[in-house]
Amino acid sequence: METYNDKVNDDVKIIVLRTNRGSDKPDADSRLLGRTLEQWVIGAMRGMETVSADYMEGDDILPVIRPLLSFAKCITVVLYSDTPLITYSAINESINRFRDEDMNALRLPRGWVLNTGYAKICDELKATRVMAMGDEDFLTVFNYNQLAYASDIMRSRINYYHMSAGVELEDPATVLIDAYAVIEPGAKIGPYSVIKGKSVIRSGAVIGAHCELDSSVIESGVKVISSNLESALVCRNAEIGPHAHLRAGTRIGTGAKIGNYVEIKNSRIGAGTKVCHLTYVGDADIGEDCNIGAGVVFANYDGATKRRTTLGKKVFVGSNSTLVAPLHIGNGAFIAAGSVITSDVPENALAISRAMTTIKNDWQNNAFTRKAEDNRTASGDTDANSGT
């Protein structure tokens, strides 16, 4: 990690003007890759004393900044929230130039470096010198086109930072990674994936194409394919997807498998457990080495209250079963396919809850097999041209 001397600019105070251009323009709270525009500017200052003030574009800045000036800080830097690409190096260079040339006011492409005493008494800011710097550092977000342009530049900065640290991005032009995401060297991110919030991806994890992770933790050896995760924890060597949806409060145990079109919410899935197909698991605690069949529904909501279901170890739940909470199913229990379970099941028991199958022979003359004209006759339809 890059280091710097936080005492170098201890005589500097930063004032960030929270710029407002009207309701149809980006403002200080507009978001860009996980941070607001204001947060990007403040974060770039690397710990220098920073305060913010509301500011309407076009107004005189002196009445805004004067109440915030401090003689304890002989240099005041005025920046704007609409320059999210600003860097510490650009500001540090400006401050050093200001010191070397003993100025009263240095005009930046967007902002000022000021002698605090001068700013307290002057009637109007007049630049001793105007400093020209790289267009990117002071790019101003004055409309949504510029916000998109700034986002593209920041995406590139973030992605190349991670790649330089040892993260593999298959197609960096299509990957979006928020500012607060942590990705360890050795992780791999596929194209068209989005890593949002305070997500953590450990070394050796593989995030495939078309994934969206929001504030989730992905441990080593995990594979995620074309899935959405929100505030979820996925433990080592588990497999997620394709097309799975893990919602807030979900914890997936080591080596578990969560497959096609499975939705899990506020549930703990034990190590080695498989939930492979077309299943909803809500408010459940599932033990180790269980098998949850296709089409199973954990019915957790009775219209007023959400209740939990608990499964022990090595429980088998057959396809198209419904488990109605609150419910406890013991270790080694077996739920027959198509069952609706409304009461607890003890250990090693078989639970069957189905209506008895009824078969009626000679049922070939039914609505499905009859010809269309026969169906009309059978239902009492008449021909309008027959006169009947």
Decide: residue 381, CB within 10 A, 0-12 exposed, 13-18 middle, 19+ buried. exposed
Contact 92, 49 (CB under 8 A): no
Separation between Cα atoms, residue 94 and residue 211, nearest integer Å: 41
Separation between Cα atoms, residue 113 and residue 141, nearest integer Å: 21
- Residue 272 dihedral angles phi and psi, to the nearest 5°: 75, 0
Is residue 185 reached through a cis peptide bond, with omega within 30 degrees of 0 on the bond before it? no
Catalytic-residue membership of 277? yes
Contact 270, 313 (CB under 8 A): yes
Contact 290, 263 (CB under 8 A): no
Separation between Cα atoms, residue 204 and residue 237, nearest integer Å: 9
Per the DSSP assignment, residues forming a β-bridge with 322 are: 297, 340
Percent helix / strand / coil, the chain, rounded to 5: 15, 30, 55
Separation between Cα atoms, residue 270 and residue 273, nearest integer Å: 6
CA-CA distances (angstroms) from residue 163 to 81, 167, 203? Answer: 28, 5, 13
User: What is the spatial order of strands in the sheet that 309-311 belongs to?
Assistant: 182-183, 200-201, 217-218, 233-234, 251-252, 268-269, 284-286, 309-311, 327-329
Separation between Cα atoms, residue 215 and residue 231, nearest integer Å: 5
Which candidate in 162, 210, 245, 277 is catalytic?
A: 277
Q: What is the DSSP string of 331-351?
A: TT-EEPTT-EE-S-B-TT-EE
Separation between Cα atoms, residue 287 and residue 47, nearest integer Å: 47
Which are the catalytic amino acids? 277
